[in-house]
Amino acid sequence: MKCISIFLSAVFLLAFTHRCQPGINEEKKISTISRALIPQPVRTEYASGHFTITENTGMFCPAKLEETAAIAARQLGIIKKVNTGRKRKGIFLAIDTSLHREGYRLKVQRGKIEITGGSNAGVFYALQTLHQLSGSEGLPSKVPCIAICDYPRFSWRGLMLDCSRTFQSPEYLKKTIDRIAFYKMNVLHLHLTDDQGWRLEIKSRSVLAEKGAKFHPEYNEPERHQGFYSQEEMRDIVQYAGSKGITIVPEIEMSGHSTAVLVCYPELSCTGEIVDKIFPFFKGPSVTPDILCAGNEETFALIEDVIDEIVEIFPSEFIHIGGDEAPKARWEKCPKCQKRIKDEGLSDERELQSYFIRRVERYLRSKGRRLIGWSEIIEGGLAPNAAVMDWIGGAKEATEKGQDVVMSPTRYCYFDYPYASIDSEHAYRFDPVKDLSQGPSEHILGLQANFWSHIDREPELVDKQLFPRLLSIAERGWSPSGSTDWDSFRNRLEKHLAILRLMGVNYYQADVAESAR
Ligand SMILES: [Zn+2]
């Protein structure tokens, strides 16, 4: 029985990673139960008594919640099939659409646990809370009697992974999905194209992945750093994320950061010169002068072909089109770009950029989607329906014009930066609506941590850059605006370190040692 208990203990928390991690035997010895919740719920009331979850606890739900229930049962270590057995005692799941879509009520009583969510996502989040309440000892587990009412502060609680500078394996993406879902984050933004590679199969433009996903052989880049996702692989990732309440937002970068495209289609640059090398980040310029020609109709034909396929793969409301760091030197000298400026009555290259973005925005809108792009897309005016991802400013200007914004400023949210400049405490201090008045602040959709894969390129190093400070972003995205007590968060974070270890996360320990003082 003890063996089973130990086994279930491992399954219980390793269900996130779907495979055992090295060193787990040591972690099984963890005896303290982490009932510290991250993110902090909106309202929590403790009562006396407890409910004991065992591997035979029944879980009952309507048919549309069966997948969510099955995922949670696996996480918790429950082996009994969902919706079987006596219905007097157990975990009961329901949906009440009058609740916030991602919100939930969780009531743990001596005889039963009742969960009501505003949607599948709300129920899933309640089950993550229950999972945290049940601790890290495995089953059987005594969950304290408690009543929680909870819902998120922001609708966008994101993480961006740069899959272009360094390819991130589907396995690592799924592992990351498991981890961020546990902390109620709901967007995984994938930076799929850049100078260093095109990482998604496009069937009508197969050269993009065939040629654009490989570094030039002279750089001897390891195979694991390059390659692409087949559409089938990406559909599987999108479905997997969706089952855990996470939307995958794809980013197809334009008009700059397009070396990988120009290697495949040199005729789409302003000069038409052959570009023959996809170079690792530190073997070339960080911003290249060659960008997509805005005067060439073939540029837009390519973009539309790509959009036609990505909207079939990604159900996300938003499609990210990059738009950052597009130097205008080539456009200034290009007869085609200059003709476009003249024909369209534009005043300069900044307005040409605006023309470019508006045209893509119109096409996305015709597909029922919304455009989002980095700060620079504001230059020269922005289509009203488009949203901005603020990395170097623009939130104030955009929100005052009524445009939606996701906050990911470099000084708080750039997790390729060292902990010396952004530690967990610093990230926790970030308030996405600071400095905005009431009206504009309502246009802040939320916040996002960004990880660029040019320096730290192996999964264990990416882990270290993301964790534990990503938990700060998770809490600031979910918990009420008044939840800003760093000491409270630090105490809870310390208790979650054991969970991170059990999840196989190679988190940055020095940051936590610092915070534990
Ligand atoms: Zn041009």
Do 320 and 459 lie in one domain? The reply is yes
Clarify whether residues 10 and 63 are in a common domain.
yes
Q: Do residues 83 and 131 share a domain?
A: yes
pLDDT at 517: 37
Alpha carbon 467 to its chain centroid, in Å, reads: 14
Whether residue 84 sits in one domain with residue 55: yes
Q: 334 alpha carbon to ligand 1 midpoint, in Å?
A: 5
pLDDT tens-place string over residues 93-143 = 999 999 999 999 999 999 999 999 999 999 999 999 999 999 877 889 999
Q: Return the closest-CA partner of residue 260 out of 194, 311, 312.
A: 194
CA of 294 to the centre of ligand 1 (A): 5
Residue 215's identity, in one-letter code, is F
Residue 470 main-chain phi, psi, to 5 deg: -65, -25
Q: What is the mean pLDDT of residues 259-273?
A: 96
Q: For 12-26, 63-77, 103-117, 463-477, which range has the lowest pLDDT when averaged over its residues?
A: 12-26
Instruction: Report pLDDT for 84.
Output: 75
Given a cut of 80, whether residue 497 has pLDDT beyond it is yes
Contact 116/104 with Cβ under 8 angstroms? yes
Residues bordering ligand 1, an ion, CB closer than 5 Å: 270, 293, 295, 334, 336-337
* Band of residue 489 on the pLDDT scale cut at 50, 70, 90: very high
**pLDDT, tens digit, 9 for 90 and up, residues 313-346:** 999 999 999 999 999 999 999 999 999 999 999 9
Q: Is 191 a catalytic residue?
A: no
Interval 372-429: pLDDT, tens? 999 999 987 888 899 999 999 999 999 999 999 999 999 999 999 999 999 999 999 9
Domain boundary among 99, 130, 150: 150
Q: Are residues 92 and 190 in the same domain?
A: no
Question: Can you list the positions of beta strands (E) in 192-231?
Answer: 193-194, 197-198
In residues, how long is the chain? 517
The answer to whether residues 226 and 319 belong to one domain is: yes
Ligand 1 midpoint to CA 217 (Å): 29
Same domain, 270 and 169: yes
- Rounded distance from Cα 362 to ligand 1 centre (Å): 21
Are 258 and 396 in a shared domain?
yes
Task: Determine whether 257 is an active site residue.
Answer: yes
Residue 5 has pLDDT above 80, yes or no: no
| % of the chain exceeding 70 in pLDDT | 92
Catalytic residue, candidates 325, 332, 494, 514: 325
Both 144 and 182 in a single domain?
A: no
Q: Residues 183, 111: one domain?
A: no
Give residue-wise pLDDT tens across range 362-385: 999 999 999 999 999 998 788 889
pLDDT at 31 over 70: no
Residues 122, 215, single domain; the answer is: no
> For residue 265, what is the domain's CATH number?
3.20.20.80
- pLDDT at residue number 12: 35
- Mean pLDDT across the chain, nearest whole number? 91
Cα(254) to ligand 1 centroid in Å equals 13
Q: Is 325 a catalytic residue?
A: yes
Query: Of 194, 376, 390, 475, which is the active-site residue?
Result: 194
Residue 292, pLDDT above cutoff 90? yes
Last residue of a domain, one of 150, 179, 204: 150
Which has the minimum average pLDDT: 222-231, 276-285, 458-467? Answer: 276-285
**Which domain range does residue 144 map to?**
2-150
Q: What is the pLDDT of residue 384?
A: 84
Given the residues 131, 225, 257, 443, the one annotated as active site: 257
> In CATH, what number is assigned to the domain containing residue 58?
3.30.379.10
Tokens of 321: 């089109």
Of 128, 150, 172, the residue that ends a domain is 150
Closest CA to 77 of 97, 41, 53: 53
End-to-end CA distance of the chain: 39
Number of domains in the chain: 2
CA of 349 to the centre of ligand 1 (A): 10
When pLDDT is cut at 50, 70 and 90, the band that residue 85 belongs to is low
> How does residue 513 score in pLDDT terms, banded at 50, 70 and 90?
low
Q: Please tell me whether residues 181 and 129 are part of one structural domain.
A: no
Q: Calculate mean pLDDT across residues 44-62.
A: 93
Q: How sure is the predictor about 225, in pLDDT bands with cuts at 50, 70 and 90?
A: very high
- Sequence-separated contacts (24+) of 276-280 with Cβ below 8 Å: 276/216, 277/216, 277/218, 278/195, 278/196, 278/197, 278/212, 278/214, 278/215, 278/216, 279/195, 279/196, 279/215, 279/216, 279/219, 280/165, 280/196, 280/215, 280/219, 280/221, 280/225
pLDDT confidence of residue 6: 34
Torsion of CA 384, 387, 389, 395, to 10 degrees: 50
